[in-house]
Amino acid sequence: MAPKKMKVENVEEENPQDMTEDVQTIPKPNISRIKNKILRNEMYKKLRVEKRKAKMKEKKRKRKEAESMGEEAPPKQVPKTIESMRVKDETMVTAEDTEVMMDEAQDELASYFSRETLPKILITTCDRPCLRTNKFCKELKLVIPNSDIKYRRGLDLKKIIPQAKERDFTDIIVVNEDRKEPNGLVVTHLPDGPTLHFKLSSVRLTTEIKRVGEMSKHKPELILNNFNTRLGHSVGRVFASLFPHDPQFQGRRVVTFHNQRDFIFFRHHRYVFRNNKRVGLKELGPRFTLKLRSLQKGTFDSKYGEYEWVHKRKEMETSRRKFTL
């Protein structure tokens, strides 16, 4: 018998491009499916390192490409942040604004900026302060030159103000607390005000900061960042009046008040020159954050005081891009 003829079907050849497309669509392994916690953490660390290396490699590639293009390189893109997308405030002023300069030449702080008075600060607390509040006041005394700590002993702040005037104090700083944690700061400029009330948060004492440096007794330099509105000018001038005019640069101490989105971040550093181009920073502490609650004309008077500005929560927080300082 003759063998049967087998039907041979034409098999289409697979396209290599289709194969590459199938490979590209295969999803990456999901780390969350790994049940072992130790292995899952190790895989997560490896992925983070790989992602960081890929990001750095892409940055180097873009930098080399821009250098090779020279003047034809596209302009640098500005990242969109809450600060850069801020709605322009009508009260924003410049350093050369004549109206602001005339007002500041006649305000309550003019005697300090004309060098007629020297700052002398009285630091006090609420009644029966806890140990943490007392430590915070002692560290403020080390940061602010020519300052003294006096305990309240049940006295009202209205009774302390006349006594402070008689002893030639120029400012009073009151540290308030709640649940054994510092939560408020009142700064009153003497003899005619103004008075600022701040919410105090994120307090870190010197002992709670890692690799903290040693503090010297030199007069520090002062940096005020982003106090650009009329209200910001008033707040910045009060902070400036707490420190002496002529800093001692050989101490290399810097006190910074950085305003960002109406939060004022306080930092205290000592800088070290590495070489002609690089500078290193060593944090000295303490570290805390302030949020302005009210600005009152004159000295502290909670009952009959005239408030120039008060934080209104529902009106001030309707948009994240609207700031007041």
pLDDT digits (tens, 9 = 90+) for 112-142: 999 999 999 999 999 889 999 999 999 999 9
In this prediction, residue 318 has a pLDDT band, given cuts at 50, 70 and 90, of very low
Residue 133 burial (CB < 10 Å; 0-12/13-18/19+)?
Answer: buried
DSSP structure class, residue 46: H
In this prediction, residue 320 has a pLDDT band, given cuts at 50, 70 and 90, of low
The 3-state DSSP composition of the chain as helix, strand, coil percent (nearest 5) reads 30, 25, 45
Residue 269: which of 252, 257, 289, 244 has the closest Cα? 252
Beta bridge partners of residue 147, listed in sequence order: 121
Q: How many residues does the chain have?
A: 325
pLDDT single digits (tens) 9-62 = 454 455 555 555 554 566 667 888 888 999 999 999 999 999 999 999 999 998
**Mean per-residue pLDDT, 201-217:** 93
pLDDT at 7 over 60: no
**Residue 15: what pLDDT?**
55
In this prediction, residue 5 has a pLDDT band, given cuts at 50, 70 and 90, of low
Q: Tell me the C-alpha distance between 55 and 49, whole Å.
A: 10
pLDDT single digits (tens) 236-288 = 999 999 999 999 999 999 999 999 888 999 999 999 998 888 999 999 989 99
On whether the CB atoms of residues 123 and 149 are closer than 8 A, the answer is yes
Over pLDDT 70: what percentage of the chain?
A: 88
SS3 state at 144:
coil
30-34, 72-76, 215-219: least confident range: 72-76
pLDDT single digits (tens) 159-208 = 999 999 999 999 999 999 999 999 999 999 999 989 999 999 999 999 99
Dihedral sign from CA coordinates of 284, 273, 228, 301: positive
SS3 state at 291:
strand
Burial 144-161 (b: 16+ CB within 10 A, else e): bbebebbebeeeebeebb
On whether the CB atoms of residues 139 and 189 are closer than 8 A, the answer is no
Higher pLDDT, 11 or 311: 311
**Residue 315: what pLDDT?**
60
- For residue 323, count other CB atoms closer than 10 A to its CB: 22
Dihedral sign from CA coordinates of 239, 242, 246, 252: negative
**Residue 189: what pLDDT?**
95
Instruction: Please tell me the pTM assigned to this model.
Output: 0.77
